[in-house]
Structure 1
Amino acid sequence: MTDTHVQTVLQFMERHAPKRFAVEGDPIGLQIGSVKKRTAKIMVTLDVLEPVVDEAIANGVDMIIAHHPLLFRPIKQLNTDTSYGRAVEKLIKHDVTVFAAHTNLDVADGGVNDMMANALGIRDTKPLAPVTEDSLKKIAVFVPRNHADAVREALGQAGAGHIGDYSHCSFSTDGKGAFVPGSGANPYIGSKGSMERPEEERIETVFPASIERNVIRAMLDAHPYEEAAYDIYSLENPGKTYGLGRIGKLDETITLREFTERVKQAFGVNGLRVVGDLDKKVKKAAVLGGDGNKYTMHALREGADVYVTGDLYFHVAHDAWMEGLAMIDPGHHVEQIMKKELAEQLQSWLEEQKSSTEVIISEINTDPFQFL
């Protein structure tokens, strides 16, 4: 077993939380360091503050994966007399790579907002504020009958033909192909210069546009022909929607007071702010990690009884209160739920790759607020 290249870790992160999911202008991705080196120990953190950097150095960490970007705004100067400047200086001196997955990790399936919704017992969720849609395409490929099953299986394994709770969905029609192998060909069927009319199947299946390259590659690898014939169509059918926040239903109707206690326990907070009648019954709940003020109207339009988010503004709370939407603000820092779950996901994947790279979790509390 050997250490993993940083570039390989970034490939995992791209599959887990694609950059295309990020809100425009969000400074995600590699922030400090090189993709060419290997990493022996990775630390997952919410924030990259100077104490977190010191923690990483003390633990022999050579790569940090953070939710909140260290380089969030353009740097006009780097003063190493400040805590921020010292943090950057230490990272560079100790060759610690820093990578940020922010709104793309919020949006992704299994990302921060799914983690928070699961912790609160919110089921049958959908995105609260849509960001993008993965449009659908169809592939139609012509293959000799004795290889049709192999090609169908390859397409299914690549992610094509997934419709709802069903996988490997496809449709086939029988027919005859026609071709004449040229002088430079190495035909699987037939002879050079002779017309061939083999029995073939036309296999059709749909797939998300984002995996087109993988689908085509898988099909070509399984196809016996030297030159496979296939078509790609764009579809008008709606694809899967991805977005910020989640909205769904609780298993049972409970009071706002009871749900507030659930929020405190789920996120390990001693206190929080609540808007609304504590005896109000809640069933439909929305959650959005971080600052979700501007998505309050989304929660109202979707019929949420209660909306859990951080950094709540006074006047936003007023508006929600007057419209009958209960709100719970446990703080921005509850996004730290991502540390443990992302670390476990990454460590499991590394072990599957037979990598010796270790993943640890930052133990530093970066919440600047205290409740007294």
Structure 2
Amino acid sequence: MPTVADLARALENLAPLAYQESYDNAGLQCGDPAAEVRGVLIALDCTPAILDEAIRRGCNVVVAHHPVVFRPLKRLTGANEVEQTLIKAIKADIAIYAAHTNLDNVHLGVNRKLGEKLGLQNLRILEPKAGLLAKLVVFVPAGHAEPLLQALHQAGAGQIGQYHDCSFRSAGMGTFTPGVGSNPYLGQPGEPEQAEELRVEVLLPLHRQRAVLQAMRQAHPYEEVAYDLIRLENEHQEVGSGMIGELAEPLSPADFRARLRQVLGVPVVKHTEFEQPIRKVALCGGAGSFLLGRARAAGADAYVTGDLKYHEFFGAESRLLLCDVGHFESEQFTGEIFRDLLTSTFTSNFAVLIAQTLTNPVRYDF
């Protein structure tokens, strides 16, 4: 049976912890990583009521979008809901795992799922993040380039957007003199040597640096590998905040708001006045007011998010349709991401269930 650690690795392959925001606390919140997974309950939030449902339905793991532990705890006495949740989980031997802003920030995460539900096409990251990539340059005898590249690619290097196994090679002549006590692949200690080599270049995400360098050393024939690791300021087009795409056909603002209400199941959409047809749509699940300027700059006709404050609506300035659909409502499809990933990754006989308990604290009266 897969363990909690196996489940965490699968989730982090999709949404690496390195991509969470600095204020966040994604990952395993509590539980034994070595415990076998008997059942997984998926929820947007983990509360005592969610744990009751997990116990009732035979699940020993809860996978949630929002972390239970967001700030450091000084004691565990049950004084608030966070402490009550952790105590109940520990007593019931239930592990809690959260994938939060790391899942928001990946291309196949929360915002893409929302965009797909709304029928958007050509979805891409609204605000890509910079400083997450490096370039590895390594010099290798020509006959060893292929197995070296294969090892680097398997370790996570060489992906650019939807393109895999990407590299660049250029030929040259390497020169060296093996020192006394060395065990050179070519030549003899103390004698100058030269070899036809290839300069091989690959991109890699910084969080895979250790694994890629280890793979390089294991696959390279030289006992001393000549390489350069260069941090880049390039934007990572697959990692960042929000999403933007286009509708197949333009909609009037009223029809677009009607689509929001239908798809999201919301009775109310708070919005600005805007009269132009809606074709290009930006969005951000959860609280996304920080991306309003980016949405305007990208030429969005509409921006969909949650948790907008009164004065933030003035920022739209009749230049786009600004829609507040609610925090929970904008992230409600996150469970489908978890479910699809876990059911496709693990074939073992354990249940992956979507929680039936509603954790949205907001209610509407009419």
Q: Report the TM-score range of the alignment, normalised by the length of the smaller protein.
A: 0.7 to 0.9
Post-superposition offset of 1:301: 3.3
User: How far, CA to CA, are the matches of 1:359 and 1:103 in structure 2?
Assistant: 22
Task: Measure, in 2, the Cα distance between the counterparts of 1:200 and 1:76.
Answer: 57
In the alignment, the residues of structure 2 paired with residue 162 and residue 84 of structure 1 have an alpha-carbon distance, to the nearest angstrom, of 39
Question: Any idea what the Cα deviations from partners look like across 1:80-114, whole Å, max 9, x if unmatched?
Answer: 58766554332121011112222221112211111
- The yes-or-no answer on 1:366 pairing with 2:359 is yes
Of 303, 311, 314, the residue aligned with 2:310 is 314
Query: Which runs of no fewer than 5 residues in structure 1 stay unpaired?
Result: none
User: 1:15: how far off?
Assistant: 2.7
Q: Does 1:302 align with 2:298?
A: yes
Instruction: Determine if contact 1:29/1:101 at 8 Å carries over to the other structure.
Output: yes
Instruction: Please list, as runs of the form range in 1=range in 2, the aligned pairs for 1:201-350 lying within 5 A after superposition.
Output: 201-235=198-232, 237-240=234-237, 242-267=239-264, 269-277=265-273, 280-320=276-316, 322-334=317-329, 335-350=331-346
Instruction: Give the partner amino acid of 1:361.
Output: I
Kindly provide the amino acid, as one letter, of the partner of residue 37 in structure 1.
Answer: A
Q: Give 1:289 deviation, angstroms.
A: 0.9
- TM-score, normalization: structure 2? 0.85
Amino acid of the structure 2 residue aligned with 1:101: A
**CA distance change for structure 1 residues 281 and 88 in 2, over 3 Å: closer, same or farther?**
same
Distance 2:206 2:323 in 1: 37
Q: What is the Cα deviation at residue 177 of structure 1?
A: 4.3
Give me the whole-angstrom Cα distance separating, in 2, the residues matched to 1:209 and 1:73: 26
Task: Flag the 1:65–1:133 CA change in 2: closer, same or farther, 3 A.
Answer: same
Q: Distance in 2 between matches of 1:43 and 1:233?
A: 42
Q: 1:20 to 1:234 in 2, by over 3 A?
A: closer
2:86 aligned with 1:91, yes or no?
no
Letter of the 1:292 partner, please give it.
G
**Alpha-carbon offset, residue 337 of structure 1:** 0.3
Q: SS in structure 1 opposite 2:249?
A: strand
* Matching residue's letter, 2:326: G
C-alpha separation in 2, matches of 1:63 and 1:189: 54
Q: Which runs of 5+ in 2 are unaligned?
A: none
Identity of aligned residues (%): 35
Task: Give the 3-state SS of the residue equivalent to 2:148 in structure 1.
Answer: helix
Q: Note if contact 2:161-2:238 (Cα within 8 Å) is conserved in structure 1.
A: no
Mapped contact 2:177–2:190 kept (Cα < 8 A): no
What is the Cα deviation at residue 162 of structure 1?
3.5
SS of the equivalent of 2:353 reads strand
CA-based RMSD of the aligned residues comes to 3.0
Letter in 2 for 1:20: A
Which residue does 1:13 correspond to in 2?
11
In structure 2, the CA distance between the partners of 1:91 and 1:217, relative to structure 1 (3 Å rule), is same
Separation in 1, partners of 2:236, 2:83:
44
Provide the C-alpha distance between the structure 2 equivalents of 1:356 and 1:173, rounded to a whole number of angstroms.
52
Aligned length: 363
Q: Aligned AA for 2:239?
A: Y
The reply to whether residue 137 of structure 1 matches residue 134 of structure 2 is yes
Q: Describe the shift of the 1:44–1:201 C-alpha distance in structure 2 as closer, same or farther (beyond 3 A).
A: same
* Separation in structure 2 between the aligned mates of residue 143 and residue 69 of structure 1, nearest angstrom: 45
CA distance in 1, matches of 2:72, 2:230: 42
- Residue number in structure 2 paired with 1:58: 56
Distance verdict in 2 for CA 1:265–1:184, change over 3 Å: same
Per-residue CA deviations over 1:37-93 (Å, capped at 9, x if unaligned) read 332222221011222111101122111111112233555776658766554332121
Provide the C-alpha distance between the structure 2 equivalents of 1:78 and 1:160, rounded to a whole number of angstroms.
42
Instruction: For residue 166 of structure 1, report the CA deviation from its aligned partner.
Output: 4.1
2:171 counterpart residue number = 173
Q: State the Cα deviation string for residues 116-138 of structure 1 (Å, max 9, x = none).
A: 112212233443345x3244433
Q: Is the 8 A contact 1:175 1:202 kept in 2?
A: no
